[in-house]
Amino acid sequence: MKIAVDTIFTILLLTLLISVTVAEETALPDPAADLVVVRVSGDPITEKQVLDAINELAKQENFTLEQSKQRNSLLFDRAVENLITVSLFRARMREMNTVVDDADVDARLKQSVQRFPSPEAFQKAMADQGLTETDLRNSIRENIRMQEVVEEASKNADPVTEEEMEKFYADNPDQFALPERARMAHILLKIPEDATAAQKEEIRKRLEGIRVEIEADIITFSDAAAKYSQDETTSAKGGDMGLVTRGNVPKPFADMLFNTKPGTVSPALESRSGYHIVQALELRPAEQASLQDSKSALRQALEQNAKQSARQKYIEALKNKASIEYFMTSEEFDKRH
């Protein structure tokens, strides 16, 4: 199922909030050096903030080389609208005046540190970005408060009904099309990075010997995978890798899986990981996913759409109450950058 929903709204909003907060804390001493693009009820949005927002948006795009050269003009309007939303939400955040416990900030900071291989790596990343721990703690505190506003903006989302799911399913059959799939098992013998040609050949012959044992019914494929396979993830499951499609396995694997009877064991096949023998456990033809099987993902997607619609209404209501003044057009911005 391929339903387009706005799943990055909160992440992008909070990412922009960090850049806006840090920009305010490191503001240029000369305001003329960073011109105001928009004012939202008196709060300025500057050129630097727009450039930072464009950079964040560009990370979500898959631009061609030519489009990358024009990304400022292509993304200017969206960047400005996102920053206006951030400004409106921050004003609402101040009105709500949510008190954030230090323990919550500590927990979020700990999570941030744990994403790095070591505390030293974390400190280096902070230094590379010109951030102090105080900067990060302030941004975390603001993010927690901002999340309260996002939740308020989403709370009036219409509930998803059975009838709505049934209608979407009936109206969008292409989004529930399942390609031809095969359930696959494999046995992997890894090839060391510095292996010589002779060593590689020895590993391949060893794997071929395992295949001969399987085909002679000396050992089952599942037991052989548990005994010999060096894929720690699948060996305990008899080498079972679950369902795959032609497009997400190497071509030699796909050719074998989709052109042979289930149960057939391939000769040794090479990949970047090493040598494999592969068995097709089951073949499933292209088909339509049933509504029952799709309901969980469908409900989640439609709920996301409903929340996005509620947020948009919330934003429009905030805009109607705010004073928004524009001082720079996309064309003017593009000439300056």
For 182-203, what is each residue's pLDDT tens digit? 999 999 999 998 999 999 999 9
Q: Where residue 31 falls among pLDDT bands split at 50, 70, 90?
A: very low
Collapsing DSSP to helix, strand or coil, 17 comes out as: helix
The CA distance from 29 to 335, in Å, is 24
pLDDT of residue 1: 53
pLDDT of residue 62: 86
CATH architecture of 180-285: Roll (3.10)
pTM equals 0.67
Q: Which CATH superfamily is domain 9-161+295-336 in?
A: Porin chaperone SurA, peptide-binding domain (1.10.4030.10)
Rg over alpha carbons for the chain, rounded to the nearest Å, is 27
6-15, 64-73, 118-127: least confident range = 6-15
Which residues are CB-contacts of 290 (< 8 A; sequence separation ≥ 6)?
none
Q: Where residue 129 falls among pLDDT bands split at 50, 70, 90?
A: confident
H or E stretch at 241 = strand 240-245
Q: How many helices (H) and strands (E) does the chain have?
A: 13, 9
Spans of all domains in the chain: 9-161+295-336, 180-285
H or E stretch at 119 = helix 119-128
The fraction of the chain above a pLDDT of 70, given in percent, is: 90
Q: Answer whether 9-161+295-336 and 180-285 agree in fold.
A: no
- Count of C-beta atoms within a 10 Å radius of residue 333: 21
Residue 60 has pLDDT above 90, yes or no: no
